[in-house]
Amino acid sequence: MDKRRAENKAYLIGPIVRHRIQDSLFYKEKLYLTNESSIVPVIVEHVHSVGGTDEAGRPSPFLCCLLRLLELEPSPAIIQLLLTQNGYNEFKYLTALALVYCRLVFDAKEMYALYDEYIKDYRKLRMQLKTPRFENDLPIHYKLVHMDEWVDMLVEEESVVDLTLPYIAPRKVYVEKGEAEVRVYGGGNDSEDDSYESDSD
């Protein structure tokens, strides 16, 4: 059974992680009573990295906000607004969060269309490490990725940030069935526009 057809989209997050999120102080204080409108300021103010749970099993604000979005099941118009912020693209973690929501909920055709759009997006993202690595005896809790790497992970990997992703076949399968466009390589802007680097990070 395709998990994306689940009546309760919150069940797309496994029960252990889901219960940890719902029991977390951040979820209870910041998210429990939010709606499609009031969750956006919470994301903008508190989500400053992409991440799952840490080595102690504590869920990140990113993961907590994702569960709340799945519980709310926003309309496609709202999801589009979260992705692009009306074309301003100001809050990159809001975009990153909306992308993983889409990966969990959208079908392959829709996701490959998003892939083609965001594979040209080179904004920098901090990704929380499950366990810190050490450099010069100092713990490093994050690594740097870019938005194009993030959307590539969402399509290519079986799991990200403690989430098991619904299966999608390689793109060529959908192209042959006429359900996805052939990927066009090149033609994008390979230089990173400094004006595109924005966020509350």
Among the residue ranges 116-120, 131-135, 153-157, 180-184, the one predicted with the least confidence is: 180-184
Percent of the chain with pLDDT over 90: 74
pLDDT of res. 35: 97
pLDDT digits (tens, 9 = 90+) for 88-104: 889 999 999 999 999 99
- Can you give the pLDDT at residue 200? 43
Can you give the residue range of the structural domain that contains 171?
A: 1-175
Residue 168 inside a domain? The answer is yes
What mean pLDDT, rounded, does the chain reach? 89
Q: Is residue 40 part of a domain?
A: yes
**How high is the pLDDT of residue 2?**
53
Query: Residue 134's beta-bridge partner residues?
Result: 139
Higher pLDDT, 137 or 47: 47
Q: Is residue 196 part of a domain?
A: no
DSSP bridge pairs for 140:
133
**Count of structural domains within the chain:** 1
Task: Give the rounded distance of the alpha carbon of 32 from its chain centre.
Answer: 20
Q: Does residue 195 belong to any structural domain of this protein?
A: no
Name the residue type at position 93.
Answer: Y
Residue 187, in any domain of the structure: no
In the numeric block, the tokens 């940030």 are attached to 161
Give per-residue pLDDT as tens, 21-73: 999 999 999 999 999 999 999 999 999 999 999 999 999 999 999 999 999 99
Using only C-alpha atoms, what is the Rg of the chain? Answer: 17
Burial of 59 (0-12, 13-18, 19+ CB in 10 A): buried
Long-range contacts from 29-32, C-beta under 8 angstroms, 24+ separation: 30/61, 30/64, 31/64, 31/65, 31/67, 31/68
Query: Packing angle between helix 92-105 and helix 76-84, nearest 10 degrees?
Result: 140
Indicate yes or no: pTM above 0.85: yes
